[in-house]
Chains A and B, each alone.
Chain A
């Protein structure tokens, strides 16, 4: 009996040890610790509205980080993702006209094409011209930023009312009742994230997915094994924009006037997300670790609004220091130090 008990204890320790050694475990542990601290410090953390606002605020960052993760898994990095997001947001808000709902559709189509274009240019540089990803995307980030500034030199722009569907399906007319009722429980931004996760799960189990991991693990071996490494890397850059695209759509409502340089500040956050989630294992990448934990770490670590108990207060991803409803003057956001944003 004692021997059986002993073997159970040993087995339990072995299981625990193996679990702790998994890269996901440390990320998850850190996530839960930070989640707990935030929940304790922020009184309204578990209110439905607060949760929805937090999801909506960080959905673009999460989507961007997921896109970045694909590139990192393939052994690259994209420094231009923030600038590309700015460009897409500028394209959307330039094409859209508030009083003409159909312009929203045109804007989405044009932005989608622009997204693909930016991915293809990066992919050509990295996959076929063999320029280091850091340098290609550094160069293109300036180009995207320049185009974005051409389109929208000053903050502003318009957004069609139905773009609110990305935040709240109930408030938009013409949305089927089924979707509206679903929207009562699940924010659309979360659906986008779940959809992106499912898409990546499926892709990662296909031959293309295996190729991506192979190229990220050892590009030379992958090349010798007959994998078209250039094409695979280009495909990753191209696929990345599929994640940036919905992210940019989310940024167009309720604030279509996000400035072009804002994307630049998102860059660091996106890379931090990847880093925390262990996806930024660059030259020995290929680990199957979701970036969401990393994103959450970045989100919670960057919560300067942590001490703000204002129910309207939601942080800006990328900035961290400002809330949508206020500027924090003293570094600690509390009602006395708040001033209206506009």
Chain B
């Protein structure tokens, strides 16, 4: 058995040894890779390894990490859960609330209310269809994304998208405090809260339990359907609130503003060590996965290879890294 474990132990297990907590091994490996990317990038590209560059990367990665939280909540609960509608939920929220706020703080509470209601509705629809009607999450959330895109298109048909975010949102999402991006003041409490909920509360244990073994969780008296339903609701609400932050960061709302984050957020979750089958992982890993992906994109852009080199490099490195990740499963 010991020999088998040694043979199937992933590469980072060999580096870290048995003393390192298992749940943080992947996260630590990602951290190492990110540092390597920065060091390598600093050698190849002058100016890549600077504080400004690192903070800019953190700012951009924050949005991926926040969307990653939506994905993680759904994925951890298992059942093949994924939420492809988060991007358009955020977009629709931004488009609707931009005209409500129109650069005024006074209407921020209305925008928040709209975001909460919209996110709740999207989450409810996704949750009911996937958990109670047993439809595949991928198809349901893809269809939901289409519906939301249609609503955005219909809303903006024949007219320009008007309105601006409130100054509070701009300060929170786009501005800096010294050299420190303010969005990190949002991400850090969210991360602490998420980690506490996932790892220290009963709700977190239930979530992991349902994802790890649906049948066992059911036999233990957990309402599996309800748990999965609630994950979609939580994901919808979070995505909608992230839409407000995106609006604050961009300064204007536009079509497709959130959809570019969907696949990177799923990639960040996987790179961060959350199994797509559910039942494991940590949000800390997801944040590191987001930073790694953003650093990789920045480096490939800084290398001046153009879009072709950027996407080719991104695809190859992602594929190679995931292949190594899968090392322990390969021997099965």
Q: Is the CB of A139 within 8 A of B315?
A: yes
Bound form: Cα–Cα A54–B49 in Å: 54
User: Which of B80, B306, B319 interacts with A282 by CB under 8 Å?
Assistant: B80
Interface size class of A (residues with CB under 8 A): 35 or more
The B252-289 residues at the A interface (CB cut-off 8 A) are 263, 266-267, 270, 276-277
Which candidate, B11-19, B89-97, B134-142, B177-185, is the interface stretch facing chain A? Answer: B134-142
Chain B neighbourhood of A132, CB < 8 A: 270, 276-277
Q: Is the CB of B157 within 8 A of A129?
A: no
User: Which of A141, A143, A150, A331 interacts with B316 by CB under 8 Å?
Assistant: A143
Q: Smallest CB–CB gap between A87 and chain B, Å?
A: 11
Q: Smallest CB–CB gap between A130 and chain B, Å?
A: 4
B307 within 8 A of A: yes
User: Which of A129, A136, A142 interacts with B314 by CB under 8 Å?
Assistant: A142
Chain A neighbourhood of B263, CB < 8 A: 79, 138
Q: Is the CB of B326 within 8 A of A131?
A: yes
Indicate whether A142 sits within 8 Å of B318 (C-beta atoms), given known contacts A268-B146, A280-B136, A330-B158.
Answer: yes
Bound form: Cα–Cα A268–B136 in Å: 15
Q: Is the CB of A271 within 8 A of B142?
A: yes
Q: Which residue of A lies closest to B323 (CB)?
A: A129
Q: Which residue of A lies closest to B329 (CB)?
A: A130
User: Which of A138, A280, A282, A283 interacts with B267 by CB under 8 Å?
Assistant: A138
Q: Which residue of A lies closest to B149 (CB)?
A: A268
For the A-B complex, the count of residue pairs with Cβ-Cβ distances under 8 Å equals: 110
B202 within 8 A of A: no
B143 within 8 A of A: yes
Q: Is the CB of A136 within 8 A of B136?
A: no
Interface size class of B (residues with CB under 8 A): 35 or more
Q: Smallest CB–CB gap between A68 and chain B, Å?
A: 12
Interface string of A244-278 (1 = CB under 8 A from B): 00000000000000000000000010011001000
Chain B neighbourhood of A128, CB < 8 A: 330
Indicate whether A146 sits within 8 Å of B82 (C-beta atoms), given known contacts A131-B323, A135-B270, A135-B276.
Answer: no
Q: Is the CB of B308 within 8 A of A149?
A: yes
Q: Is the CB of B153 within 8 A of A331?
A: yes
Indicate whether A146 sits within 8 Å of B80 (C-beta atoms), given known contacts A131-B323, A132-B270, A280-B138.
Answer: no
User: Which of A125, A134, A331 interacts with B276 by CB under 8 Å?
Assistant: A134
User: Which of A77, A141, A271, A275 interacts with B315 by CB under 8 Å?
Assistant: A141
The A139-159 residues at the B interface (CB cut-off 8 A) are 139-150, 153
Chain A neighbourhood of B329, CB < 8 A: 130
User: Which of B80, B315, B332 interacts with A145 by CB under 8 Å?
Assistant: B315
Q: Is the CB of A283 within 8 A of B276?
A: no
User: Which of A136, A147, A280, A283 interacts with B322 by CB under 8 Å?
Assistant: A136
A44 within 8 A of B: no
The B291-332 residues at the A interface (CB cut-off 8 A) are 306-316, 318-319, 322-323, 325-326, 329-330, 332
Chain A neighbourhood of B311, CB < 8 A: 142-143, 145-146, 149
Q: Is the CB of A135 within 8 A of B322?
A: yes
Q: Is the CB of B136 within 8 A of A146?
A: no
Q: Is the CB of B139 within 8 A of A280?
A: yes
A281 within 8 A of B: yes
Indicate whether A134 sits within 8 Å of B143 (C-beta atoms), given known contacts A128-B330, A142-B312, A146-B313.
Answer: no
Chain A neighbourhood of B82, CB < 8 A: 134
Q: Is the CB of A136 within 8 A of B158?
A: no
Interface string of B140-165 (1 = CB under 8 A from A): 00110010000001100110000000
Other A-B pairs, 18, CB within 8 Å; known A142-B318, A272-B146: A129-B326, A132-B276, A134-B138, A138-B318, A140-B319, A142-B312, A143-B312, A144-B315, A145-B312, A146-B307, A146-B308, A146-B310, A147-B308, A150-B309, A272-B142, A280-B138, A282-B138, A331-B157
Query: Which 8 pairs of residues, A with B, have the shortest CB-CB distance?
Result: A146-B312, A143-B315, A142-B315, A149-B308, A146-B311, A139-B318, A275-B139, A139-B319
Residues of B within 8 A of A (CB): 80, 82, 136, 138-139, 142-143, 146, 153-154, 157-158, 263, 266-267, 270, 276-277, 306-316, 318-319, 322-323, 325-326, 329-330, 332
